[in-house]
Amino acid sequence: MTMRVAIVTGAGSGLGRVVALALGRAGYAVVLAGRRRGALDAVAENLAGALAVETDVTDPASVDRLFARVAEVHARLDVLFNNAGIFTPAAPIDAVRLEDWRASLDTNLTGAFLCTQGAFRMMKAQAPRGGRIINNGSVSAQVPRPHAAPYAATKHAMTGLTRATSLDGRPYDIACGQIDIGNAATEMTQGFAAGVRQADGSLRAEPVMDARHVADAVVYMAGLPLSANVQFMTLTATAMPYIGRG
């Protein structure tokens, strides 16, 4: 075995793209998973030997095809970065549409669960056995923003999934950790300079940090021996409203 293999979900944009590129630079054979084939191909152009697999993480059959393709091409998996996620329209909890609630659950939580199952099965059966699953929790796994109940609920649940996976993985040398990220500069945070709703109802500009710091952290977590694990890491822009969010 000359190369470790890593899957990144939501790899076509944002943090997924930045992390995928960093893993590639660190010597991983990167599998890019996402819904938009064109975006995946654009990332793959900058990664030697990358494998782009169009994947809808909410669809069990699509997830099964992803892991079957990884098994076919690489015959093993060392790292899964569960990153795919969506924001639904901001709304107070009594005005959240059921379809938005379900869409958030399907992508942010069930999608991570399905990919975790696929990775766990591969890592448990392969030789050498084991691997690492890293979940993108977001600081919303700890404290919510106003009018974001679906997102906050799924990210709080991600913490439970991380803990359960870590526990169930112990007998099989499968480590699982979570990185909770706050205000990394991506397409999703472009509007933060114009103002973000705060707990008191006001709109205030918020600082962001370079997304490469997130990529560096994920590469560090991924590169640890399976005898060590970052269980939880919180990485934020220093001055963002997280401590004392409201």
Instruction: Write out the catalytic residue numbers.
Output: 151
Cα dihedral sign, 19-179-128-53 = negative
Which residues touch 68 (CB under 8 Å, ≥6 apart)?
none
85 vs 179: CA distance, rounded Å: 14
Q: Judge if the upstream peptide bond of residue 128 is cis by omega within 30 degrees of 0.
A: yes
Residue type, 164: A
Give the start-end residues of each E strand in the chain: 5-9, 29-34, 51-54, 79-82, 131-136, 174-182, 196-197, 203-204, 232-236
**Sequence-separated (6 or more) residues with CB below 8 Å from residue 230:** 177, 179, 220, 221, 224
Distance in angstroms (rounded) separating the CA atoms of residues 99 and 241? 29
Contact between 6 and 53 under an 8 Å Cβ cutoff? The reply is no
Report the DSSP beta bridge partners of residue 34. 54
Q: Where are the alpha helices (DSSP H) in 105-209?
A: 111-125, 149-169
